[in-house]
Structure 1
């Protein structure tokens, strides 16, 4: 039978990427760098901190970085850990590893103690390149067995931890020709947050980066004239893959300084950005600021902003003139769910992309009907479009790819038109008195109250077994907590069993460096002394509607 794949034609109603349909053998980072350097030459690809590099210069920088690593003894398949704030060396070493056939291991700069030690040991990195200010983080750690050298990129600090060979940055060596890494060879190991156990190192093959560039480029309609602005950290998959989106599309990638609400719009305007990326609380923070002439003094048309609260999705666009774009992606799976930025529905992730498959299943992996929530499981047709497993954790790989579908751990709902809506992480689902509760849904209701700026809903122990519902709230400036009013706000919007029993006001939610709420911190804190208890306060629920039956 002669197959013509969907992804070789006009795709999902979107303009296909110019590199869609590239032969699988050419779906590598070195292949993309060489191909696009030949096509775009001196056109700017990277702008960062006053530095500008063309497509040709990025290719050449990767070849030099590969030569530098090889001169230091790094061979194909060996791991190089990178622990830096955004700096050009971080991107060079990631691309240099891919060029050499080695494996980059970007580490979150917020790592400390046992978690940092675990990732260094688990990855088996031979070299750790890091900001010199971070060298002191190694002091309390036992030197990992495989780690032979630490490269302090700003120079060797005066005090170095015992047991570590701390050196200055390596001297640049002669460039090397690309080593011929294949599309299935691991280009990077990216660690998950590890909220339910030790962090898992996601093995990202070369072709997975290609598919990130193609799929997101099509959803955002990125073209040669676009400027992609991000201030997210390069150790995060979002910022790394935004670079590949620019590379694939022939666009320009502008890497800005850390997020600042007061400087965000002036910075994107200065960068002449047309596309940007927002995560976590960034959307809420921008919306909560007073209106300003800067709100629309920019050229941004679209911002990738997954999981934006429904209550502010349209309001953001109306105020800033920027269309927010939802999609589904993860470090393991690429971006297999989404629609064009022109076809967005608040609160919905989109439809499954051509060449990818999604099912919504129960605890037995049996598919549930449309309209019934279940776990999202995913598969792919294009080779190496997803991660190939968890490094040195075969049991976790088998668990996640049960029945040959990747189990996302995300609870979703599919409608009759194939649109998928995120409900909750399964581990954040709360079970109270026999009822399953979505923390995400409770958060959406609380966020719709005018006094609430940000919220995290999580389970706490109940004296009656199972869980009670708790919420940590950040209030809008100038407002005070009226907990009973919040309960009354919830009553017509939530089933009675989902209305939080415990409410607590906090100055800020605990966040990762990528802007995600660290619910594990809130769960560990549990019921604090300043938590308001609805039952102890004698506030009785009016069991309205179906929740009262």
Structure 2
């Protein structure tokens, strides 16, 4: 029968799957129900077969209500037959992925407490090797032993709230959990799909997912609800899918995950529109491919959202053409409520990101043997989905990522799904999977596994082209640093990429790294990506962020990495604690002139790195900036301070020389006051620095970095000539190199005269602490 759309919110007229099958067999016993390959079975035939098998379960195997019956089979007709027979016996079905090996199977059998396993010849040895012979019976479907039993259903009481399935989740991380699903769960999903689509007895449903997953099971419920046949494919094959659609005369199917993208990547065929499809439901329609999917196969596609835990939650209306390409998940079905919440559980306003939570029917009753997991996910009846969404002003909900499927790069959360979508828009890419790659500096980096289109070579140049094109769509910090090509992806039964298996596979390929050589990671430098701006923090507060040679080298490398404009819109340099930096770390005094030269060169290199960037570099001067550190801020395009900012250049009093082109940069900023700052070692507070132009702005400490980031964003609008202006406004390279040469000569003279060593010794004397004797003695030598 056809369920009118205005009945979507009603309770199903028949409360259990077993009663629904009996009702359909009584009304249309000769109506086609299940089709596998070239064979089909009617409602009457399946009703009789499942009744006989249910009697066998009770009378031969001793199955009692509530006992668990496992099913480990590929997509064959015995799968739904065993399922429905177990339900008629009052048992609980335990679907088992037919691809499981020993450890996975052993876990499911033990966790579920299954008394019986139905399997086939291909899996018999595995099941016998795992099942406890004294506790678990194994039945080969080649002879299920049901023929001699009566075709009438056994007298077993089954109600809407009777447990029907322990439905194990896909288990993409660790061992899976079993959702406890009742008869009402399945019947209600069938009712909701039927009412949402207007399917009727003249339709033909088709499914290609494994029966161990929930989709074919709710398709069975839909077929029982409307009295239509369900054609079942052995597996999903993108290249042969629409040939099967045409062969079976399918009018409706459901796909999810990467399926729509894989289908659209197939070469166009003149017979593409030669099909009977009236409508398609899909979870995760790529928004930018939506129109192309409809145009190519001539049928409307609409989004449906749900989980194993909750079944149908949201659906897009087939009557709404605005849904095409909108990326919307649709609206809640009438039996569901949804909220978008912050981590503290409070509801967020429209336009802000939050976790989608769902309440209502259908819904699992909890996780089997997992009370803590149940309490974590189901709170006051609200299911916390783990999906990050945004609710629009129109009430439509759009998904932006998974809480757990994220890359935490620096200070930014990157949704893997967003990067994957951008990569899969590339004609060179068939499919992509993005994972987090651990990184000492950034915490995590973005790594993309890519399946290439036929005929393309898997090499660095291809990877570079893909990354470059992705960079035109994504913020710089979201662009993959690593690319690895794969021939195919390991997948879960729900056709999602099994990312742990992908990362841990035994035969990894070449990985192409599009980041700079990182060298040794240092704990005294930290990088956070904030709103597409690289915030580089000197993080050695116990030493006032004093700079070693290694730190300066790393700092120059980072400035070059983020200064190209590809990974960030700009750079902010700041310090942690009460100092921006105390400058040169004199606790590591040079012991020879080569070490002095190296120290100077690393300061010079920071200057070059800053002045060569194509993006603005802002100094967020949080406190004391001494010597070489204050000189670093001079290289920046602007300096923003706080009331605690203080500049101090003590080099002249210690017999040291300026080493970062201060002779050029400081006079450009403060004119005649440069002499006083350098030769007089004048300590300058924030107000004075602001008055003479050394600082451009003073803000409160808690606003400093945000203001610096805002400055970068203000100076780099979407279309800009910032890089050209920076090159015009900054000092000429030749002028800087000439200053470096003079400073290097002065440094050598200071070293050879002994003034340099005396300056270092005076520093330790002022500190009231002994100098590092080994280093000073070596210097004297």
Q: TM-score, normalised by structure 2?
A: 0.63
- The yes-or-no answer on 1:154 pairing with 2:178 is no
Distance (whole Å) between structure 1 residues aligned to residue 505 and residue 38 of structure 2: 44
Q: Out of 226, 229, 242, which is 1:249 matched to?
A: 226
Q: Structure 2 matches for 1:22-37, cutoff 5 A? A: 22=12, 26-37=14-25
Distance (whole Å) between structure 2 residues aligned to residue 30 and residue 325 of structure 1: 30
Q: Structure 2 matches for 1:379-528, cutoff 5 A? A: 379-380=359-360, 382=361, 385-480=362-457, 481-524=461-504
Distance (whole Å) between structure 2 residues aligned to residue 139 and residue 102 of structure 1: 22
Distance (whole Å) between structure 1 residues aligned to residue 392 and residue 194 of structure 2: 26
Pair 76,209 (structure 1): closer, same or farther in 2 beyond 3 Å: same
Q: Out of 96, 103, 108, which is 2:92 matched to?
A: 103
Q: Out of 76, 79, 98, which is 2:65 matched to?
A: 76
- The yes-or-no answer on 1:65 pairing with 2:57 is no
Deviation at 1:412, TM superposition (A): 1.6
8 Å CA contact 2:21–2:43 kept in 1: the answer is: yes
Superposed CA deviations along residues 243-262 of structure 1, whole A, max 9, x for unmatched, are 11111112221223323334
Deviation at 1:450, TM superposition (A): 2.1
Pair 260,482 (structure 1): closer, same or farther in 2 beyond 3 Å: closer
Counterpart in the other structure of 1:292? 269
Deviation at 1:145, TM superposition (A): 8.2
Distance (whole Å) between structure 2 residues aligned to residue 493 and residue 282 of structure 1: 23
Aligned-partner SS, 2:483:
strand
Q: Which has the higher helix share?
A: 2
Aligned-partner SS, 1:229:
strand
- The yes-or-no answer on 1:231 pairing with 2:208 is yes
Aligned-partner SS, 1:87:
coil
Deviation at 1:414, TM superposition (A): 1.3
8 Å CA contact 1:63–1:178 kept in 2: the answer is: no
Superposed CA deviations along residues 150-192 of structure 1, whole A, max 9, x for unmatched, are 112237xxxxxxxxxxxx7565522433522111111111101
Say which is worse superposed, 203-212 or 86-95, in terms of deviation.
86-95
User: Which structure 1 residue ranges, 5 or more long, are not aligned?
Assistant: 1-9, 156-167
8 Å CA contact 1:120–1:144 kept in 2: the answer is: no
Aligned-partner SS, 1:278:
strand
- The yes-or-no answer on 1:200 pairing with 2:177 is yes
User: Which structure 2 residue ranges, 5 or more long, are not aligned?
Assistant: 518-559, 571-708, 714-781
Q: Out of 328, 331, 339, which is 1:348 matched to?
A: 328
Pair 412,58 (structure 1): closer, same or farther in 2 beyond 3 Å: same
Structure with bigger RCO (C-alpha 8 Å, 6+ apart)? 1
Counterpart in the other structure of 2:288? 311
- The yes-or-no answer on 1:94 pairing with 2:83 is yes
Q: Structure 2 matches for 1:126-137, cutoff 5 A? A: 126-137=115-126
Say which is worse superposed, 367-376 or 50-59, in terms of deviation.
50-59
Say which is worse superposed, 403-412 or 527-536, in terms of deviation.
527-536
Counterpart in the other structure of 1:542? 566
Distance (whole Å) between structure 2 residues aligned to residue 232 and residue 524 of structure 1: 25
Superposed CA deviations along residues 368-419 of structure 1, whole A, max 9, x for unmatched, are 1111122111100x4xx21111112222111111243111111222111111
Counterpart in the other structure of 1:16? 7
Pair 224,20 (structure 1): closer, same or farther in 2 beyond 3 Å: farther
Pair 70,151 (structure 1): closer, same or farther in 2 beyond 3 Å: same
Larger Rg belongs to: 2
Deviation at 1:113, TM superposition (A): 2.4
Counterpart in the other structure of 2:764? none
8 Å CA contact 2:34–2:77 kept in 1: the answer is: no
Say which is worse superposed, 493-502 or 51-60, in terms of deviation.
51-60
Aligned-partner SS, 2:40:
strand
Pair 357,534 (structure 1): closer, same or farther in 2 beyond 3 Å: same
8 Å CA contact 2:52–2:147 kept in 1: the answer is: no
Distance (whole Å) between structure 2 residues aligned to residue 98 and residue 499 of structure 1: 50
8 Å CA contact 1:460–1:527 kept in 2: the answer is: no
Aligned-partner SS, 2:21:
helix
Distance (whole Å) between structure 1 residues aligned to residue 471 and residue 513 of structure 2: 16
Q: TM-score, normalised by structure 1?
A: 0.88
Distance (whole Å) between structure 1 residues aligned to residue 175 and residue 27 of structure 2: 43
Q: Out of 301, 306, 315, which is 1:324 matched to?
A: 301
Counterpart in the other structure of 1:117? 106
Aligned-partner SS, 2:276:
coil
- The yes-or-no answer on 1:214 pairing with 2:191 is yes
8 Å CA contact 2:128–2:138 kept in 1: the answer is: no
Deviation at 1:47, TM superposition (A): 2.1
Pair 331,187 (structure 1): closer, same or farther in 2 beyond 3 Å: same
Deviation at 1:542, TM superposition (A): 2.8
Superposed CA deviations along residues 428-463 of structure 1, whole A, max 9, x for unmatched, are 112111111111111111112221111111111011
- The yes-or-no answer on 1:47 pairing with 2:35 is yes
Pair 465,263 (structure 1): closer, same or farther in 2 beyond 3 Å: closer
Say which is worse superposed, 512-521 or 124-133, in terms of deviation.
512-521
Aligned-partner SS, 2:271:
helix
Deviation at 1:15, TM superposition (A): 5.0
Distance (whole Å) between structure 2 residues aligned to residue 333 and residue 456 of structure 1: 26
Deviation at 1:500, TM superposition (A): 1.2
Pair 250,86 (structure 1): closer, same or farther in 2 beyond 3 Å: same
Distance (whole Å) between structure 1 residues aligned to residue 505 and residue 40 of structure 2: 46
